[in-house]
A and B are shown apart, each in its own frame.
Chain A
Amino acid sequence: MITSILFSSCKKESTEIFQDTPGKVDVKFDAVFGNQDFALNTDLTTGTKTFKFNKFRYWVSNVVLVKTNGEEYNVPKSYYLLEETSAVAVQDGDYTYPANKRELVELSNIPAGEYKAIKFGIGVESKYNDNLSLQIGELSQLNGMTNVSWMWHTSYIFTAIGGTANENAIAKTIKIETGLNTNYRTVTLNFPQNLSIGSTKSTAIDIKADVAKVLDGIDVMATPIVGAAQASTMTALANNYATKVFSVSLVK
């Protein structure tokens, strides 16, 4: 009688006791530059160009884990700001967002099972991009990744790369950003082998984010500043993020 009172009041939770219990998975977004580790304020060369970066920031959103049977688990409220950045002057220098390196996203409460792939958005989908007051996950106006004048559309900056580029003794300051609803992209990455998630062991997904691939095909010396006015370049960048930049190096 006691058990029946308990279970009927909160039935949803109690039924899960008889299945495998949910587990955690650490998703690491390791920034690289081709074969080198990505680092700020360090010369990083690809072809004839040498870069010195002071920021690499991007929103990862709507994370989905795909089971081997094709079933999908949508991680609730999954909006994360991944970054490796020097201090950022926000609101024209009204305040400073401190230097930060963040590459780890901890997903908890993932239903136990065999998984084969991960999907996530780069940027913020239109519902939240169009309404800065709807805060969910890590979305915020306070971290210098929102915009009111950069493209005259009050919305989020989806991705941002800053620093300098050098080629043939010519130096350019680069500010390469993406945003706008049309440039929201979803990335799908298959795992090299299936990953079993559950409460009995710790699991991890290691993802490489290759900054050199972000700039693949972009003439940064001709177009060092990319904003909404450089619409075709911005779309090319968004497509690079969708298809080239991210790869899974390891699941364990």
Chain B
Amino acid sequence: MVNAKIIVLIAVALVLSVSSCKKEETDIIDQQVNESYQPNAPSNLPAFIDDVDNPLTKEGVKLGRMLFYDKRLSGNNQLSCASCHRQDLAFTDGLALNNIGLSGATLHRSAPALINMAWAKNGLFWDGGSTNLESQAFGPLTSPDEMFQNLFELEAELKAIPMYVKQFNLAFKDGIKSANVAKALAQFQRTLISGNSVYDKYKRKENGAQLTTVELQGMQLVEQKCKSCHSGELFTDNSYHNNGIDSHFNDDLEGTYQGRFRVTFNPFDLGKFKTPSLRNIMLTAPYMHDGRFANIDEVLTHYSSGVKASSTVDQLLYQNNGQLGIPLSSLEREAIKAFLNRLTDQEFITNKNISNPHL
């Protein structure tokens, strides 16, 4: 009889001790359900380094893809992220300045391409006004001139859609929250990896991929004349430069032409903009932060004979015997264009893993 009582007490004690530590066990179970996601980064790109605060998970990336292509993310349910970031155009819109946002106002900036965002760790937007993709998402989501989404309504709207209730719970412990919308979008964008152009296959010596003599000449010219800024295998230094498209930087259009100065208020940063990648460059016209150059010829003409002087113009642009500009013969221009065409990644723009999942 006494023994039985003790056994019961021990059993109760065990139950109590187990229940008091329950929280940790459920955390482990959550992590097991939502397995981490390893993107397939081609070997010639720098190693993929995951975000510490928002690591990629299978379910998070899937959710981000669903949200990226869902028009319900905008205030009038007419616009998705993909409205201005089209896969067939390397996730830009082909326009200089679009006016499809809710206010109908013409934007001051051209929609940037979304290419290899996982390595873009030195600020987003043309002037670096967001430190990471997570914060960046709140810009277009809430701006009256873009998606103008009321974040309270967004949460309510998503909570009414069973597919999202399920997927948010799979992806995040705290389910549907606007912060998790931003996190999921960031995860998906970090899987937009382009590294399978003809150039890449040539570099990796895959399937006997070849570049023609002219394309190889173009590659050499790009290396000599362009790669100080469009550097490495990402073809961007992810930094900010004044490439001489303007010589005056007044605060018209909310400081649009002041570039990174608008964020840092450092006079040294006047007129500096983020270096876009040359990858898929033939898909991402028009060019520059405001889309002022309609095609690549105009860009090459600018660099050879149109660079304007100012106190912050990049010293690397003095490539003409101490004068501004990068002289290019017509043959050199043709070679550069031939090479740039080989940076177009057909697999990237047709990849079914990053296309619209709602179709």
Residues of A within 8 A of B (CB): 1-2, 5-6, 9-10, 13, 91-92, 94-95, 130-135, 141-142, 146, 148-149, 151-155, 228-229, 231
Contacts and interface: CB of A to CB of B under 8 A. Distances in A.
Contacts of A10: 17, 20-21
B178 interface: yes
B139 A148 contact: yes
Please list the 7 inter-chain residue pairs (A to B) with the smallest Cβ-Cβ separation, ordered nearest first. A133-B134, A130-B131, A9-B17, A154-B135, A133-B182, A133-B179, A152-B129
B191 interface: no
Contacts of A91: 142, 144, 148, 150-151
Contact of B263 (A92, A134, A148, A152): A152
A146 B138 CA distance: 10
B265 A228 contact: yes
B320 interface: no
Contacts of A133: 53-54, 134-135, 137, 179-180, 182-183, 186
A132 to B, nearest CB: 5
20 contacts: A2-B10, A6-B13, A6-B16, A6-B17, A9-B21, A10-B17, A10-B20, A131-B132, A131-B135, A132-B138, A133-B134, A135-B177, A141-B151, A141-B179, A148-B143, A152-B125, A152-B129, A152-B262, A228-B265, A229-B265
A92 B144 contact: yes
B331 interface: no
Contact of A131 (B9, B134, B153): B134
B9 A155 contact: no
A132 B150 contact: no
Contact of A1 (B10, B16, B262): B10
Contact of A2 (B9, B138, B177): B9
Interface in B109-163: 125, 127, 129-132, 134-139, 142-144, 148, 150-153
Given A9-B21, A133-B137, A142-B178, 17 more contacts: A2-B13, A6-B16, A6-B17, A10-B20, A91-B151, A94-B144, A95-B153, A131-B134, A132-B182, A133-B182, A135-B179, A141-B138, A141-B142, A141-B178, A152-B127, A152-B263, A154-B129
Given A132-B179, A148-B139, A153-B129, A5 B265 contact: no
A131 B135 CA distance: 5
Contacts of A131: 53, 131-132, 134-135
Interface in B218-277: 251, 254-255, 262-263, 265
Interface in B16-49: 16-18, 20-21
B359 interface: no
Contacts of B255: 152
B94 interface: no
Contacts of B265: 228-229, 231
Contacts of B4: none
Contact of B138 (A130, A134, A148): A148
A229 B9 CA distance: 69
B291 interface: no
B14 interface: yes
Contact of B10 (A5, A130, A135, A152): A5
Contacts of A95: 150, 152-153
B134 to A, nearest CB: 4
Contacts of B137: 133
Nearest to B178: A141
A155 B138 CA distance: 10
B325 interface: no
A130 B263 CA distance: 13
B143 A5 contact: no
A19 to B, nearest CB: 19
Given A9-B17, A94-B75, A141-B178, A154 B183 contact: no
B138 A154 contact: yes
A190 to B, nearest CB: 35
A16 B125 CA distance: 51
B17 A148 contact: no
A94 B74 CA distance: 12
A26 B71 CA distance: 46
B96 to A, nearest CB: 20
A130 B122 CA distance: 12
B148 A94 contact: yes
A148 B183 CA distance: 17
A142 B138 contact: no
Contacts of B262: 152
B262 to A, nearest CB: 5
A231 B135 CA distance: 22
A178 B20 CA distance: 44
